[in-house]
Amino acid sequence: MQLVQLQRDLSEYQAADIQVVAINHDPVEALAELSAANGIRYPLLSDPDSKTIEAYGLLASTGKGVSRPEAFVLDAKGVIRARLNLEWLLGAPLTDTLLDTAPAKP
């Protein structure tokens, strides 16, 4: 699960001034339980109507409630600098790839 891996490597992201945030179609209560059960300390945002998920083109072909696992790397101005398909980045390459694509510190 990518959410757990992001938590596992959170200190590396923080050292690189990367803010990790995840968005999911699950309700707030379910995300709170997921966070507590897995020790997730970064924001998990609820998008139960899949509006944001759909706006970013992440809605799976099966429809609302299912999204494709992707990561976006934004710079300090909110400009998307990279879009990564997480299905292909399981394991250590996920962290390495996110760190490599992050904008340089100012």
Among the listed residues 30, 35, 90, the one whose alpha carbon sits nearest the alpha carbon of residue 20: 35
Q: Which domains does the chain have, with CATH numbers?
A: 2-95 (3.40.30.10)
Query: How far is residue 100's CA from residue 106's CA, in Å, rounded to a whole number?
Result: 15
Answer for the pair 49, 57: CB distance below 8 angstroms, yes or no: no
pLDDT tens-digit profile, the chain (106 residues): 678 888 888 898 888 888 888 888 899 999 999 999 999 999 999 998 889 888 888 887 776 667 777 777 777 788 877 777 766 555 556 777 777 777 666 6
Query: How far is residue 7's CA from residue 103's CA, in Å, rounded to a whole number?
Result: 20
